[in-house]
Chains A and B, each alone.
Chain A
């Protein structure tokens, strides 16, 4: 249970963002209303074997990295060089691309937080970072050489475990920063990013840690992309910048993207006492499951229970609701209606930042929390790109006799969703993310007053 009087501040952030060299360029492009989604040559190279060819991807070169390929196994990145000298070679040797981004993002977040080495290396500092991770080039090459080419296990070298294990990102960050507290990864599909930060929040709130480096990452990986492509859930048929279109009637899937979001959390009074710049304060975090027995279909009642758990007996009246808003046909409709059912239909705006950078899967919740912190800082609601036409007719599920939610069609809530940047006073933002398996996560953050 929560320890008396403990609150949690966000004091640092960093990461890896599509088509941006760093957080500052990410911020600049977001608030210029740009799309960070591009045609992906790596997907396009597979011709008719792949449906979708757009992504918010990040290349190694864009992150200042270079793969050193093995002489033993074709196409196997044996290790990486950091041309910007941020990460030592020893740490790079145990990391996949996502883990390297996590280390870079953690360095940035800790620097922004202003933690001393003693604070970072303390028993009271934890690391909680997770990935959605459906596989990557490390595993694919190792398995291909063993199973298909019938070669010895040692051909892929001794780093396939540390570079592919579930908590590789957290482990690599911990080995880099040498913290002595908790080091774990939470996995909850596309809620992973927010789930890890929510768990880290609880570690501090419950008095278990004073500081936690937390977040989510999804390293660029065609291996991950093709699984979703096969499910026919990816956006198809639009130009890159128009392919992520939350709430628009012509939306036909999400844009599979990649990235990394890391935040530095600290017990509020400690952060305040040392004069830290507090980016935001976490009001509460809540997560639950749909309990509907459905792996994929979103649950209106599950999302409503999520809100109720988040609000509890707190004053939660956000000026912005940062939705999951993936640009999938059913997901967006259920989500908008569950938000309206709880929040009513005025007094706030809906922000769907995936319209600008796509769906970063395990990184989504973390990068979108960072996006929300930036909205608090700028006092601007980011635009919902491509939300051109909202359905004037009720959704099919709204016509069902069992439906107990709002009856107006999505078009009736057009005023909540802006295609342009909205400048207004923003004191509180609620962030929502959901994942396969019916998992739901919500966090409320407030401006530090």
Chain B
């Protein structure tokens, strides 16, 4: 799965999170920080991770979620790493 394909899928998830400023999703890059740039409430991060598991058909380890950073790159890396592990 290509990284851009994952980012596009993440954008689809983020569109469903009503507490995120939707306009900022237009310029999303791997460096975009969910909390600093998108002002995502920290409590929403686990919801985004759970929806990513469903969308990309993966199951994250709890430790990986605990250690997850807050940039788009961090979650793209985790999805790829988890897929490779499977």
Report if A158-B51 is in contact (Cβ < 8 Å); known contacts: A89-B19, A90-B19. no
Bound: A366/B50 CA distance, A: 40
Interface size class of B (residues with CB under 8 A): 10 to 19
> Is A144's CB within 8 Å of the partner chain B?
no
Mask for B1-42, Cβ within 8 A of A = 1, else 0? 000000000000000101100000000000000000000010
206-230 of chain A: CB within 8 A of chain B: none
Closest to B43 in A: A158
Residues on B with beta carbons closer than 8 Å to the beta carbon of A152: 50
Give me 19 other A-B pairs in contact (C-beta within 8 A), A93-B18, A157-B47, A159-B47 excluded: A68-B16, A68-B18, A71-B16, A72-B50, A72-B51, A78-B47, A79-B18, A81-B18, A89-B18, A90-B41, A92-B18, A93-B41, A93-B44, A154-B46, A154-B47, A157-B46, A157-B50, A158-B45, A158-B47
A93 to B39, CA, bound (A): 14
B window 42-63: CB within 8 A of A: 43-47, 49-51, 54
Residue of B nearest to A155 (CB): B50
Tell me which residues from 77 to 108 in chain A have a Cβ below 8 Å from any Cβ of chain B: 78-79, 81, 89-90, 92-93
Chain A positions near chain B (C-beta within 8 angstroms): 68, 71-72, 78-79, 81, 89-90, 92-93, 152, 154-155, 157-159
Cα(A79)–Cα(B47), bound, Å? 12
Q: Measuring CB to CB, which residues of chain B are less than 8 angstroms from any residue of chain A?
A: 16, 18-19, 41, 43-47, 49-51, 54, 65
A157 CA / B50 CA spacing, docked (Å):
8
Collect the chain B residues with CB atoms within 8 Å of residue A68's CB. 16, 18
* Chain B residues with CB below 8 A from A72, complex form: 50-51, 54
- Which 6 pairs, one residue from A and one from B, show the smallest C-beta to C-beta distance? A89-B18, A158-B43, A157-B47, A154-B50, A158-B46, A90-B19
Q: Is the CB of A71 within 8 A of B54?
A: yes
A158→B18 contact, CB < 8 A = no
Which of these, B18, B41, B49, contacts A154 with CB under 8 Å? Answer: B49
Q: Kindly state the separation between the CA atoms of A129 and B43 in the bound complex, as whole angstroms.
A: 24
Given known contacts A71-B51, A71-B54, A154-B50, is B18 in contact with A159 (CB within 8 Å)? no
Contacts of A78 in B (CB 8 A): 47
Chain B residues within an 8 Å CB radius of A159: 43, 47
Most buried by A among B16, B43, B50, B54: B50
CB-defined contacts of B19 to chain A, threshold 8 Å: 89-90, 93
**A186 CA to B19 CA, complexed, in Å:** 30
Nearest CB in chain B: distance from A92 CB, A: 7
> Across the interface, do B44 and A158 meet the contact criterion of CB distance under 8 Å?
yes
A32 to chain B, nearest CB (A): 39
Q: List 29 A-B contacts (CB under 8 A).
A: A68-B16, A68-B18, A71-B16, A72-B50, A72-B54, A78-B47, A79-B18, A81-B18, A89-B19, A90-B19, A90-B41, A92-B18, A93-B19, A93-B41, A93-B44, A152-B50, A154-B46, A154-B47, A154-B49, A154-B50, A154-B65, A155-B50, A157-B47, A157-B50, A158-B44, A158-B45, A158-B46, A158-B47, A159-B47
Q: How far is the CB of B26 from chain A (nearest CB, A)?
A: 19
Contacts of B65 in A (CB 8 A): 154
